[in-house]
Amino acid sequence: MIVFDSVSKRFPNGHIGLDNINLHLERGEMAFLTGHSGAGKSTLLKLIMLMERPSSGHIQVGGHRLARLRRAQIPALRRNIGVVFQDHQLLFDRSVFDNVAIPLLVAGFDEDDVGKRVRASLDMVGLLDKEKLNPLSLSGGERQRVGIARAVVNRPAVLLADEPTGNLDPDLSADIMQRFHNFHQAGMTILIATHDLDLVRRMGHRVITLEKGRLISEGQLVSEGDAV
């Protein structure tokens, strides 16, 4: 589903974001992306959804070579990728409901369908009773969950999450991770960037560890030693 073929990303200021990454994520696979902050986790996710372009190498997502996508094809790619952003990227000029509905409106769902799907999605993150509120009046954790609801509302083929549990208490984090796991079982390809290693270990999925832009280890985390 997601293939990185010797991908490097060098920023204009000379900083090397990613260095010769080779990565293969199967369709329906769930994986964690860990590493210290600045290790390139966010950059890697951004490359997948074309928020950034690689300096060299090829990326394939869903069988499409991203370098070959025309500008007009990018929206179609993004509609197939749900993203949970680290900074939520919510809009404060509208209600929670309307925030979650954006991907559906963009993809052209009809109105009844939008209502149903948005409520289902909000119910999943436990915010059904807050649909009419403005995200401004929500706590950080709640905003995070709105972001998650928005990411999965149109059942994307790929789900990327950048620190989805960063602002959540442990119980809620575990709960959200369980939701992700359920999506995974439903066939979604999921890549989660996080540094909550405890949680990662408990989930028992493949872990990709980055350090200074290099991929240093792949595989399941078994003991504390593998984490770093």
Partner 1 sequence: MSRRDDNRGSDKPPRKAAVTTWRKTPPSQSVPESKKKPPQKKTPGRKTASRGKAQKGHTSSALGHWKILIALHRKVARDALSRILETPLASLVTVLVLGVAMSLPAALSMTLDNLRDVAGSSQVTSVRVSLYLASRITDDQASRMREDLASDQAIKRVIYISPSQGLAEFEKYSGLGEALRLLDNNPLPGVLEVEPKDSSPLAVSNLKNRLIRMGGVDEVRVDSDWLKRLNAMLTLGDRILTGVSILIFLAVLLAVGNTIRLLVVNRKDEIRVVKLVGGSDGFVILPFLYSGFWYGLLGGLLASVMASALWFAVSGPAQELASLYQSSFRPSFPGLEICLTLMLTGMVMGVLGAFLSSWRQLRHIDP
24 binds partner 1 (CB under 8 A): no
Q: Which is nearer to partner 1, 84 or 210 (CB)?
A: 84
65 binds partner 1 (CB under 8 A): no
Task: Give every CB contact of residue 159 below 8 A, 6+ residues apart in sequence.
Answer: 81, 82, 83, 84, 151, 152, 180, 183, 188, 189, 190, 191
Size of site (CB under 8 A) for partner 1: 51
Please identify, among the stretches 13-21, 138-146, 186-194, 208-216, the one whose residues bind partner 1 according to the rule CB under 8 A: 186-194
CB of 91 to partner 1, least distance (A): 5
| Residue positions counted in the chain | 228
Binding mask 39-58 for partner 1 (x = CB under 8 A): ----------x-x-------
Q: Which is nearer to partner 1, 158 or 215 (CB)?
A: 158
Q: Do residues 119 and 131 make contact, with C-beta atoms less than 8 angstroms apart?
A: yes
Kind of pairing, strands 64-65 and 81-84? unpaired
Q: Which of 11, 24, 186, 198 binds partner 1 (CB under 8 A)?
A: 186
Q: Which is nearer to partner 1, 35 or 103 (CB)?
A: 103
Alpha helices (runs of H) in 28-139, residue ranges in sequence order: 41-48, 74-79, 96-107, 111-124
Q: Which is nearer to partner 1, 92 or 218 (CB)?
A: 92
83 binds partner 1 (CB under 8 A): yes
DSSP 138-160: S-HHHHHHHHHHHHHTT--SEEE
171 binds partner 1 (CB under 8 A): no
| E strand map for 11-89 | 16-25, 30-34, 56-61, 64-65, 81-84
Q: Do residues 132 and 99 make contact, with C-beta atoms less than 8 angstroms apart?
A: no
12 binds partner 1 (CB under 8 A): no
Alpha-carbon distance of 143 to 79, in angstroms, equals: 21
Residues interacting with partner 1, by CB under 8 A? Answer: 1, 27-28, 49, 51, 62-64, 71-72, 75-81, 83, 85, 89-91, 93, 102-111, 113, 116, 120, 123-124, 150, 154-157, 179, 182-188
